[in-house]
Amino acid sequence: MLELKPMINALLRSKIGAVLLLIQVAITLAIVSNAAFMISDRLTYLNQETGYDEEAIFSLSVSTFDPSINLVQQYAQDERDLRAIDGVIDAAMTNWMPLSGSGSSSSMHLVPNPEIGTGVRAAYFTTNEHMLNTLGAKLIEGRNFYPEEVVHADNYGKLPNTTIVTKDFAEELYPDGSALGKVLYQGEDAVEIIGIIDTIKGPWLNDSRPANVVIFPFNLSQPRTGFLVRTEPGKRAEVMAKVEELLLKSESRRVFYGIEGLDESKASYLARDTLVMRMLVVLIVVLVLVTALGIFGLTLFNISKRTKQIGTRRALGARKSAIVRYFLIENFLVAGLGLVIGAALAVLLGQQLMKVFSLPSLSFTFVLASAVFMLIMSLVAAWGPALRAAKVAPSIATRSI
Amino acid sequence: MLWYYVDLSWRSFKRTPLVSILMVIAIAIGIGITMTTLSVYHMMSADPIPSKSEQLFALQLQTMDEGEGWFTKDDIPYQLTFKDAQRLMTDAKGDAQAAMVRTGFAVHLGDESNAPKLMDARATGRDFFSMFNAEFIHGGPWSQSDEDNAVNKVVLERSLSEELFGETNPVGKTVFLDKFLFEVVGVIEPITEHTKYYDLNNGAFRRAERVFYPFSLVKELEIGTWGNSNGWKREMVTTFKQRLDSEIVWIQYWVQLDSPESKANYEQYLKGYIQEQQKIGRFARKEPKYSLRDVNQWMEYNEVVSEDNKILVLLSFMFLAVCLANILGLLLAKFMRRAPEVGVRRALGASKTQVFVQHLVEVGLLGLFGGLLGILLAQLCLWGVRESYSYYSALAKMDFLMLASAPIIAIVACILAGLLPAWQVCRTNPAYYLKTQ
């Protein structure tokens, strides 16, 4: 540690190199800690639990364009055909697909219109008694729909009077007790909660309440609708490949589309966020590499400028290890100062980003972790040049002035 | 002189290949990353129709009652009710106007030759084609009388026409949209390149529709929307008729106003229309607002360029700064090592300015190489973007402007970074180095 004072003096005498290194380290830390924070924020979102066995479920949509087809009968037949396929566990018709980004939502109230009361927004599926089994949703309280409860219709003339809701929705509507058996109002129509299921996510993962989901026993047969199918593990691809042909055989005046696994729907819904995350990762990795390269180069530069000084020290009896230590400590000092400034810069940048964009505030743990990481990186980058400096022969000191 | 400097630079480049290549790589990485984010940003925010963007206006009307808010910044719905759109179309007070809505059909020829294909179709007014610079290959838009009488006429995009009818001119032939028989009246080239600016609430970078048909058919054939519908009023809407009469907003509306006078006139007309509607109980608020935003304002209002893209551009420029600091360091090292040589040149009569310029030329050359390599890197990154997110496939490209600006940004950045090292080296005192040799 006795070396500190001469070291600082030496640094002060050739400021440019040190200042450059410092700036680089500071900006890098500011970017890396903010980007790492954004990545982690994004990762939590991308990896959230959906409540489904995504690899076992797929969806398909249909558009029936011939008005002479009896939709209620045809779709009931389709469901039976789907369930009869080898490898299919269950299938249900539904208006929207989970995790797809398209759906319907509505406010559910504790009192009927026009009274104003607590309202909780939820995504809703109109489907039938096969839905729970198809989704693999776990019933926590109450029961599934009875087949006779399900309204089969091609219009809104008769509406169902029961519903099954997720526990997330139930807890938001009734924070202090069980919602089972309670009555809900969608507009003026009353429905009774007959079952509560474990968390499943609705159509929108970026919703503020993605798990507010309500299921109605309403098999609404419209020209455009969809089916969800659950297969045995490993049999999904096989079933997906033949399903279109099979259903067209029973009625050809329609178009099937959107035959995709739930994991695929989710991936395409999340594609943009995944892309941004990947770009941030590339940015960080390349940036750290470039900074490491910079440290490497500057240390080399410093050493080449001081070849004679090193030779003299060696000639005067300094060990190789002392030379290595000298350059590592020097690097540590400059990088350390850069990191302190960089930490302040990172917090500042985080605040600005938060102000201008809708980002959560930067947690200081990320700054700290990034700083430690970069300190190690800077030492590793300086290691090679420092070893090279130690190889300078003492005889250098004796040559020329 | 310049060629001499370039020659010197090239010799210097060859003398220290490792450091030179490191510098070129550093600038190339910086430029590659920056150009990737900048290109996407540039494509997203570019004016999609420069010749007319200031004459085309998206119309919004604040139809809700007093006390009802909306989820837009200025509390005005993005879309119009059907009844407003229809009335404005009938009055036709703009220089051109087009109500429109995104719908879709199973498209087929009614025989076994093609399996029906589900696709987007736009119901719109006949002015749409002239307003948005549609380029007709065959035929033209449907006539005003077709529009008034809701005749089943359709305009196809070339790619679809070729899928259905091959290379032949399909005008006069028929095609089924769902169960409805339509006569083809025209074939157009794709109407947008990447940003579907006329319909920003169904995904700004979605591909443009390939099927267009008269707006009057929406009512006639009871065609539902494939876009958003939003309501605010408690009203019973179960039939299509009720939907058309309701306060639900689901129709987009564009009007072309060629001059400031015609815009002023149109605003007068809108105010009159709102007052007239207030008499029958609609627009029940103190000061119902309307808004006419031109194409670029409309893109800004709809936040076509997302926050993520702005953050990425910001970060990548900071990244470029780090690369430059890096190059600055390497340049210092390189130039200082050359001090003895510079000492000799100075002693032989080269002026400071000449030495300074010589080194800047060398730095500029590095920037040029780095910029060119950076373009390659950016292409690689953009390919990754397209693979990762197909929705951006038309966007993640470099146009001529971006290709040209990459080396320019690189050279300017390098010269900025080179100022200090060049200054240092040209101050070299010749006597000192001549002595030590």
What is the chain B residue with the closest CA to A400?
B436
Mean pLDDT in chain B?
90
Number of residues written out for chain B: 437
Task: Find, among A252, A231, A256, A254, the residue nearest to A244 by Cα.
Answer: A256
Per-residue tokens: B389:
């997110």
Please write the tens of the pLDDT for every residue from B43-82: 998 999 999 999 999 999 999 888 888 888 888 999 999 9
What is the chain A residue with the closest CA to B306?
A357
Segment among A174-183, A226-235, B178-187 with least mean pLDDT = A174-183
Chains A, B: CB pairs < 8 Å: 128
Which residues in chain A are contacts of B329 at CB distance < 8 A? Answer: 17, 20-21, 24, 294, 297-298, 301
In the predicted structure, residue A337 carries a pLDDT above the cut 90: yes
Q: What is the DSSP letter of A361?
A: P
Partner-chain contact A279 B337, CB within 8 Å: no
Segment among A40-49, A128-137, A336-345, B330-339 with least mean pLDDT = B330-339
Q: Is the dihedral of CA B49, B50, B55, B59 positive or negative?
A: positive
Partner-chain contact B385 A282, CB within 8 Å: no
Residue B230: per-residue pLDDT: 84
Distance CA B66, CA B287 (A): 9
Please write the tens of the pLDDT for every residue from B123-153: 999 999 999 999 999 999 999 999 999 999 9
Partner-chain contact A297 B381, CB within 8 Å: no
Shortest distance between the Cα of B180 and any Cα of chain A, in A, equals 9
| Residue in B117, B312, B319 closest to A287 by CB | B319
- Inform me whether the C-beta atom of residue B241 falls under 8 Å from chain A C-beta atoms: no
First to last CA, chain A: 30
Which residues in chain B are contacts of A156 at CB distance < 8 A? Answer: 238
In terms of pLDDT, which residue wins out, A17 or A279?
Answer: A279
How many Å is the Cα radius of gyration of chain B? Answer: 30
Contact of A229 with A81, CB cutoff 8 Å = no
SS3 letters across B319-352? HHHHHHHHHHHHHHHHHHHCHHHHHHHHHCCCCH
Task: Find, among B415, B253, B430, B396, the residue nearest to B324 by Cα.
Answer: B415
| Residue in B178, B311, B337 closest to A353 by CB | B311
Which residues in chain A are contacts of B388 at CB distance < 8 A? Answer: 271, 274-275, 278
In the predicted structure, residue B168 carries a pLDDT above the cut 60: yes
Looking at chain B, the whole-number percentage of residues with pLDDT higher than 90 is: 61
* Whole-Å CA distances, B200 to A30, A204, B303: 35, 19, 9
For strand A151-153 and strand A213-220, is the pairing parallel, antiparallel, or unpaired? parallel
Segment among A313-327, B306-320, B326-340, B410-424 with least mean pLDDT = B326-340
Run of H or E including B393:
none
Q: Confidence band (pLDDT; 50, 70, 90) for A116?
A: low
Distance CA A353, CA B88 (A): 43
Please write the tens of the pLDDT for every residue from A212-263: 999 999 999 988 899 999 999 899 999 999 999 999 999 888 899 999 999 9
Distance CA B241, CA B262 (A): 34
Partner-chain contact A275 B22, CB within 8 Å: no
**Does the global pTM surpass 0.90?**
no
Run of H or E including A97:
none
Across A277-295, average pLDDT: 88
What is the chain A residue with the closest CA to B424?
A16
Shortest distance between the Cα of A178 and any Cα of chain B, in A, equals 30
Shortest distance between the Cα of A142 and any Cα of chain B, in A, equals 32
Across B304-308, average pLDDT: 87
SS3 B287: coil
Distance CA B421, CA B362 (A): 12
In the predicted structure, residue A265 carries a pLDDT above the cut 90: yes
Partner-chain contact A20 B329, CB within 8 Å: yes
| Residue in B322, B332, B390 closest to A24 by CB | B322
| Residue in B105, B332, B420 closest to A301 by CB | B332
Partner-chain contact A282 B388, CB within 8 Å: no
* Complete DSSP assignment for A19-45: HHHHHHHHHHHHHHHHHHHHHHHHHHH
Distance CA A96, CA A123 (A): 10
| B contact test, residue of A14, A20, A259, A396 with most B CBs within 10 A | A20
What residues form DSSP beta bridges with B98? B254
Q: Confidence band (pLDDT; 50, 70, 90) for A195?
A: very high
- Inform me whether the C-beta atom of residue B431 falls under 8 Å from chain A C-beta atoms: no
First to last CA, chain B: 28
| A contact test, residue of B107, B326, B436 with most A CBs within 10 A | B326
Partner-chain contact A293 B22, CB within 8 Å: yes
- Rounded to a whole number, what is the largest CA-CA distance in chain A? 104
| Residue in A113, A271, A290 closest to B234 by CB | A113
| Residue in B29, B234, B333 closest to A300 by CB | B333
Residue for token pair 């398909």: A60
User: What's at B174, amino acid-wise?
Assistant: T
- Rounded to a whole number, what is the largest CA-CA distance in chain B? 99
Distance CA B120, CA B126 (A): 18
Across A38-46, average pLDDT: 91
Please write the tens of the pLDDT for every residue from B207-262: 899 999 999 999 999 998 998 888 888 777 778 999 999 999 999 999 999 999 99
Which residues in chain A are contacts of B424 at CB distance < 8 A? Answer: 16
In the predicted structure, residue A401 carries a pLDDT above the cut 60: no
User: What's at B397, amino acid-wise?
Assistant: K
